[in-house]
Structure 1
């Protein structure tokens, strides 16, 4: 979240002034549907799918114990690694997105998640789980979407930005509801390897398609942000560029970062082991 906040402020001042006419925009202009809403829909799908593996981790612990006879604590270390490795990964993807654009990074992250999910079905050793889930899928693949998508939305919406971000985060919460039961059902009915093969390929196809719809900013399509005609909101949205050093000297930044960290640390333990605890206690 911190990386996304800083990247939002720092990159606004460096938006490309070049405007290009994109034929794919014809249908949105004719129907008066601003492309910002397509960006929002794509962002919602991408956020849900990209976090499906991590959102479903709790339902995978018992099948892993039964298949490999690993200890639950050893298995859950992969979950911890995903969080720890996400911190530098998000900073890196924030910088790379600001420098090279977001769509290329998301396409690459889509391939990482897809390939990593397929390979998870082929693991034989505990360290395979640590590398594929903790680093490849949970950190590198997920971080690209986690840090870039909210920033992209703030660029596309000047008006109704709060509504757009609210819809985005609400959609993110639907991921565990959909995919945790799906993962468990697939593993129990098709087996570990077959389940992850099907899920990985399906996820990869969806992520690639919706990542292709993403544009870093309206400038790339010769458009203005939704509601950009509102002079008051345009003035409010604009701001001077800030440096990382100036951000790090602000007390509220550290307070917000600390609150977010402690909140995640508190609920992550419950999320990782809640299903096993509930299952074994009836």
Structure 2
């Protein structure tokens, strides 16, 4: 019976986590689809809306290490349920906003904090607690939750924003989905395999959960101080900063308005982003499997180079209709979209051991700060130059630079995977 529970429960927890990540991705799917509807109704500039998106993206990242520490201190179930409730509240209240500061507060702050609490730090926590074998694969599957959420919600949000209910109907749908996830997490999620008397998947013995006492914020900061004394942390953080800038920051936020600048209908452009989500799902799961078998720093370098090439050619690919060249871009960029996540988490686990979830939370914070910077700067570039081309070229060159940073990361000794960082 224990053996059966060991086989079933880890994957059940991963499934619940996947569903929560899909729900959290709902609101993150809305920015690019709602830029123009918000401009049409309120007259806000691309830069103003981009700033609200930047606040969301920055908090989405900065919250991650503290939320991960809170999960270790108070439990994943409580933190996740509270985060989903915050997303639902922030999304629902946007239907009443009339000023730009309300967009920043609701869309930027509230949803940013909620989504940041259910981000890739959450993925790292589940993978580290519940799996010894297949960690790369499960990390890839969970990371693909965001892509799946985008695939589901992006076409829906775009279509709803052009319906009689406008963008408000889209916000309400996202709020309801987030609210529906709260009871699922509260009733079915379990904190740790030891709570069920079973080992993690692939382990032989039950592993007691590490005791975490004191302030969760202090714990998160202590882990940062310890990790920041190492070169691998900075190589990972800077390369992931670039990763965020070249995915969530520019493509996920500005692809639809950029395509519309070239005459493409917004629903068509949203459909292309959804197709990117399909290939992202495939690419991220494949990346997770490859991370169990291939040197992860080599994987990262390859992924960043491919992304850079894709972004450098994108300005020449835009058209008022879907061309063969655009389909090629969508396939290659989609396969690579967040394929960088599993090897990055693997490298964090190799270098920082049991401290990996919180340390990766800080690396992910860098990712979202990069996304926030790119979201704002790309919007300002569009306002200043009337075109997104400089932003695409800059993003492509940065991606190639991230490949060199990835190759600079040395492999850690095997015993590092069981250590815990201690503050100086």
TM-score past 0.5 threshold: yes
What's the CA shift for 1:29? 7.6
> What is aligned with 1:197?
172
Distance 2:99 2:245 in 1: 27
Match of 1:143 among 116, 120, 126: 116
Secondary structure (helix, strand or coil) at the match of 2:239 reads helix
Matched, 1:95 2:69: yes
What's the CA shift for 1:180? 1.0
Q: Which gives a bigger RCO, structure 1 or 2 (Cα 8 Å, sep 6+)? A: 1
Change (3 A) 1:199 1:143: closer
Structure 1 window deviating more from structure 2 (261-270 vs 43-52): it is: 261-270
> What is aligned with 2:96?
122
What's the CA shift for 1:201? 1.7
Q: What is the root-mean-square deviation in Å for CA atoms of aligned residues?
A: 2.6
Change (3 A) 1:270 1:148: closer
Answer yes or no: is the 8 Å Cα contact 1:110–1:208 preserved in 2: no
Distance 1:256 1:30 in 2: 37
TM-score, structure 2 normalization? 0.54
> What is aligned with 1:222?
197
> What is aligned with 2:47?
73
Q: Counterparts in 2 of 1:1-282, with a 5 A limit?
A: 33-137=7-111, 139-146=112-119, 147-189=121-163, 190-210=165-185, 212-229=187-204, 244=223, 245-267=225-247, 268-282=249-263
What's the CA shift for 1:97? 1.4
TM-score, structure 1 normalization? 0.79
Distance 1:82 1:182 in 2: 21
Distance 1:91 1:142 in 2: 13
Change (3 A) 1:158 1:31: closer
* 1:13-54 Cα shifts (integer Å, max 9, x gaps): xxxxxxxxxxxxx9x987885210111111111112102212
Distance 1:211 1:253 in 2: 34
Distance 1:150 1:73 in 2: 33
What's the CA shift for 1:172? 2.4
Distance 2:141 2:61 in 1: 25
Answer yes or no: is the 8 Å Cα contact 1:34–1:226 preserved in 2: no
The answer for unaligned runs of 5 or more in structure 2 is 211-219, 264-424
Provide the aligned length of Structure 1 versus Structure 2. 247
Answer yes or no: is the 8 Å Cα contact 2:62–2:116 preserved in 1: no
